[in-house]
Amino acid sequence: MTTTKMKRWVPAVALGVGLAASVHGCDGGGSRGGSTAAGASAAAPTSSQTATPAGPQAPAARPRSATVVARHGEGFLEVHHGGRKVVHTKGTSYERGVQYGVLVGDEVEGVFNKLTQYVAAQGVGLAASLQTLLTPIGAAVMRPYFDADALAELRGIVDGMRLRNPGTFVTEADLIFINSIIDLGAVVNLDVFRCSGLAVWGSIAKDGKLFQTRCVDLMIGSGIEDHALVVIAKPEGGVPYLNPGWAGMIGAASGLNARGVGVSQVWAFSIDKGFGRPWILATRELLATGSSVDDAVRIFSSHRRTYGSNFVFADRGDTRGGQPRGISIESSQRDLRIFESNDPAEDLALWNGQPYAIKIPEAVFRGDAYLDPTMRARQTGSAGPTGDPRPTGAYRNRYQGQADGIMRFVNAGVKIGADECIQITKDVAMRRNSLQCVVYANTDLEVWVANSRIGPNGQLFDAWDEPYLHYSLDDYAPVARAVPDRTTFARGETVQVAVPITTLGRGHGLDVHVALDLGGVTTVLGSATALTLPDRGAVTAIVDVTIPAGLGNVGLGALHVEVMETGTTAIVDVARTPVTVTP
């Protein structure tokens, strides 16, 4: 661990202006472009500060195109790529929910308004009863399967939305319903879901790293396209993760965590189904707590499931000395089967004695068809349970299509990386039913997301044919805490603030800024600049700050710490701790 200490710092004008602008949401920068930073010299101290050398030189700043537009507590809302919203939440589940509700509550309301409009447009006479009948019934059925952690976040969202808009119509039951809607639809035979996913690593992947894909092949045009969000969550005591989804859905239909654990899912319909825990809550738990694919096996084995799904889970190898691994989990309500890469158990997938599994070393991939014979005997999709799956579109286009895509690159001597994975998703995603395509660079914690779009005249655009926008979980992987030497102090006193920072990602050059929020006024107190946070390591900044003797307010407040990329206003993390200022 590295420690950087700033002695009796009197705030420099430039840094004070920078923090004040950041606190009020004026944040921006250049385009990162996905490049990897090289080492660079630490910034020189200003005339009013002294710096203790921090060991190795800090990595160069990695500028990104992002603007902070709103804040609440340790959460903040950024706009990326000229309009795409990225909401950052941090803390307990309830605290993260409140931040979410305050920052994007309007987007949540928008989802329910669009859903009602979409149902009405189908002419099925259910729009009027959606809010008054279907939603509360669905929520009542599914609520017992929601864990306490998820319910706490949903309560926080509702409370945050009421802070934002006291007249909001959204209730906790609405949020339970929207986070159950996939499973409810599947259990009642709404067979409209099609997906695919793969993971590759080792000798067939670029630099031996791990890459993964996830295609959400689902009806487009419902209106949720207008409310796509990327959430970067930092659960208290857990693992930071990136969830590219839609407003109001706290579950993870897709996602990557800072241990490199990635999620892909495929619907695999079966008669073995019933009510249980929505699978997007199980994947949410995996992202928030998991270190490896073994955690996926543990989590999915420990609860009552709903309907047939094939999953691809992969991790970069944090628990195995950096050796990546991918698995497939085939599941239904009763059954669960685990398959490794190139698994001999897949040889049991037969139709009339003819094998239909495709095996590729250092790769796992799935379409709709089960490969486990017992589960296949109860499958209704992909010509199941007695039909040949190979002529079906699900098999040809997505299962075999992914295998063909992998082997095209392997046979051409091309190592598979993010660009190649993007091409595979473009080839296999369904036409006119491509809601989202996601590619993960699991090892490096980078993500590319393409979402479907509704044009100004109602035209529908598939996700696979839209831009794949880059988001870096690695940029936001550092997690900071604010630890003052005491939490009650008087005006004119000096307080030492320790800011320990850890990361599960690559190294960063960081600046730390400390301010006091009191009585609605933010007072800049001090900074530590050019810290070196090593790869998957830790650093602690210690900032000695003096509470202004002429401070106009006393009482309850908070020390507010912002961690930024060195020399920029690009926020990496926010930490706050309650304090009391006495006369």
Band of residue 455 on the pLDDT scale cut at 50, 70, 90: very high
What backbone phi and psi angles, to 5 degrees, belong to 411?
-65, -25
26-77 pLDDT, tens digit each: 333 333 333 333 222 222 222 223 233 334 455 555 557 789 999 999 999 9
Q: Which of 67, 38, 45 is nearest to 570 (CA)?
A: 67
pLDDT of residue 187: 84
- Provide mean pLDDT across the span 531-554: 96
**What does the pLDDT look like over 220-274, one tens digit per residue?**
999 999 999 999 999 999 999 999 999 999 999 999 999 999 999 999 989 999 9
pLDDT in tens, 137-157: 999 999 999 999 999 999 999
Sequential DSSP letters for 36-94? PPPB-PPPPPPTT------SSPPBPP----EEEEEEETTEEEEEETTTEEEEEEEESHH
* Dist. CA 94–CA 245, nearest whole Å: 19
Q: Are 542 and 499 in contact (CB under 8 A)?
A: yes
Side-chain-facing half-sphere of 324: CA atoms under 13 Å: 30
Can you read off the two tokens belonging to residue 102?
A: 């305050």
Find all residues with CB under 8 Å of 354, minimum gap 6, and list them. 388
Report how far apart the first and last C-alpha atoms of the chain are (Å, whole number): 37
Going along 179-254, which residue ranges are E strands? 194-200, 211-217, 228-235, 241-246
> Residue 320: CA atoms inside 13 Å, Cβ hemisphere, count?
12
Is the per-residue pLDDT at 2 higher than 90?
A: no
Strand locations in 383-474 (E):
436-441, 446-451, 453-454, 460-461, 469-472
| Interaxial angle between packed helices 418-428 and 400-411, expressed in degrees from 0 to 180 and rounded to the nearest 10 | 140
pLDDT of residue 6: 35
Query: Rounded to an integer, what distance in angstroms lies between the CA atom of residue 279 and that of residue 180?
Result: 9
The answer to whether the bond into 385 is cis (omega within 30° of 0) is yes
- Determine the residue type at 87: V
CA-wise closest residue to 89 among 279, 250, 227: 250
Q: What is the 3-state secondary structure (H, E, C) of 267-333?
A: ECCECCCCCCCCHHHHHHHHHHHCCCHHHHHHHHHCCCCCCCEEEEEEECCCCCCCCCEEEEEEECC
Q: Give residue 282's pLDDT.
A: 98
Evaluate whether 2-64+478-582 and 191-475 have a shared fold: no
166: Cβ–Cβ under 8 A, 6 or more apart, which residues? none
Mean pLDDT of all residues belonging to the chain? 88
Q: Identify the CATH assignment for 2-64+478-582 out of 3.90.660.20, 2.60.40.770, 2.60.34.10, 3.40.50.970.
A: 2.60.40.770
Per-residue model confidence (pLDDT) at position 189: 64
Mean pLDDT, residues 455-464: 96
Which one is predicted more confidently, 321 or 31?
321
Q: Helix, strand, or coil here: 514?
A: strand
Token pair 């006495």 in the structure block, residue? 582
Q: What's the pLDDT at 193?
A: 64
Bridge-based pairing state of the strands 354-355 and 350-351:
antiparallel
Chain Cα centroid distance, residue 461:
24
Torsion angle (degrees, nearest 10) of CA 518, 524, 530, 536: 10
Name the residue ranges covered by the structural domains of the chain: 2-64+478-582, 97-175, 191-475
* Higher-confidence position of 115 and 84: 84
The pLDDT-based confidence of 517 (bands split at 50, 70, 90) is very high
Q: What is the DSSP letter of 398?
A: I
Query: What pTM was computed for the model?
Result: 0.89
CB 265 within 8 A of CB 195: yes
pLDDT for residue 499: 98
Q: What is the dihedral of CA 279, 284, 289, 295, to 10 degrees?
A: 30
Amino acid at site 40: A
Q: Rounded to an integer, what distance in angstroms lies between the CA atom of residue 172 and that of residue 138?
A: 12
Which CATH number does 191-475 carry?
A: 3.60.60.10
Coil vs helix vs strand at 571: strand
pLDDT of residue 27: 31
Q: Mean pLDDT across the stretch 397-417?
A: 98
How does residue 185 score in pLDDT terms, banded at 50, 70 and 90? confident
Tell me the mean pLDDT in the region 442-458.
97
Confidence class of residue 215 from pLDDT cuts 50, 70 and 90? Answer: very high
Q: How many angstroms separate the CA atoms of 549 and 289, rounded?
A: 44
